Amino acid sequence: MRIGPATRLFSSLLDRLPSQCAVCRAWPSQPVCDACVARFAPPTPRCTTCALPVPAGVARCGACVRHPPPLDACLAACTYAWPWPGPIGEFKFQGHAGWAAPFATLMRSMPWAEPAVERADLVLPMPLSTARLRERGFNQALELARRLAPAKTDATLLLRTRDTPAQSGLGRAERLRNLRGAFALEPLRATAVRGRHVLLVDDVMTSGASVFTAAQVLKTAGAARVTALVLARTDPPHEGHGAH
């Protein structure tokens, strides 16, 4: 069941109400208080093109140096680690769309995110397959994009053409093969990205394969610049920083 206008209105009203912090339980508070955001989503040096953590002063990780992804920039607001998986899971799998507003605020407040949103000509949410959309009732990436830049968000330009088998347990190369042909631009509007700056929005970036595949579709169609902005980035085990 998809989210209807009445549910969206109720959710937007809830966005404006104070609540208990989901992390430290402070009251009254925003869904996540400023102190917890500062503690659990601090600015972190990240690779400029895949958002994996890197040592201070390093621009790109080894994997991106060896195999540059089709992204011109990649930004992540936080690491996908406690306390974020709980609230993100509520948002993504339990239909708690009220999380979209605080999560978008968190994304927009990170370094370099505001300029990326302002510079973008188009803001495209990572699309879901029809089956996944039916299962969840809404596209969480679209809810984030609408709150980041409502006037620039286009929900129908980038399409998911097919569902894919589970990606867990696959390496980066296998994930990319798994996703080949999974994204496309709406055929009658394929020229809409030509020469444009495009911002891709998603909730969680795991290996990067989905975002990279979508970005390649945009670059092939003539996008001048593609930036990804994600809420959370899954960090690999310390011994596997190159395998994403």
pLDDT tens-digit readout, 36-78: 999 999 999 999 999 999 999 999 999 999 999 999 999 999 9
Query: Which residue, chain included where needed, has tokens 């990319």?
Result: 176
pTM comes to 0.86
Cβ atoms 140, 100 nearer than 8 A: yes
How many whole angstroms separate alpha carbon 63 and alpha carbon 5? 44
* pLDDT value at residue 177: 67
| Beta bridge pairs of residue 75 | 229
* pLDDT value at residue 178: 66
DSSP 46: B
Query: Which residue, chain included where needed, has tokens 């609540």?
Result: 19
Cβ atoms 77, 113 nearer than 8 A: yes
Among 244, 232, 228, CA closest to 112: 228
208: left (phi over 0), alpha (psi -120 to 50) or beta: left
Q: Which residues contact 70 (CB under 8 A, 6 or more apart)?
A: 212, 215, 216, 218, 219, 226
Sites in the chain below the pLDDT cut of 70: 1-18, 164-178, 237-244
* pLDDT value at residue 13: 44
* pLDDT value at residue 117: 97
* pLDDT value at residue 58: 96
Cβ atoms 182, 138 nearer than 8 A: no
